[in-house]
């Protein structure tokens, strides 16, 4: 195993800038935003409920 540090490639900066451009240009549609915010308010999914029940049974 070597402790040598690899030099960054010439395209690393370009890839980083491109990734930043992509993340800045992504926008949610109004419908997707409404669905996402609605799910966040009602986060009692079946998985959450069964997990809570298992914790209660354990205690």
pTM equals 0.30
In a domain, 45, yes or no: yes
In a domain, 59, yes or no: yes
In a domain, 37, yes or no: yes
pLDDT tens column, 4-42: 666 666 666 777 777 767 666 667 788 888 887 776 666
In a domain, 14, yes or no: no
In which residue are the tokens 């491109």 written?
18
φ and ψ at 34, to 5 degrees? -65, -40
pLDDT at 4: 65
pLDDT at 15: 75
Mean pLDDT of 42-57: 83
In a domain, 52, yes or no: yes
Where in the sequence is the domain holding 44, given as residue range(s)?
29-59
In a domain, 35, yes or no: yes
In a domain, 34, yes or no: yes
In a domain, 23, yes or no: no
**How many domains in the chain?**
1
């Amino acid at each position: 195993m070597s402790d040598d540090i690899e030099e960054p490639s010439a395209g690393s900066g370009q890839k980083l800038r491109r990734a930043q451009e992509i993340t800045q240009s992504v926008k949610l549609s109004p419908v997707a935003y409404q669905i996402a915010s609605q799910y966040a308010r009602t986060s009692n999914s079946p998985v959450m409920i069964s997990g809570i029940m298992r914790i209660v049974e354990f205690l």
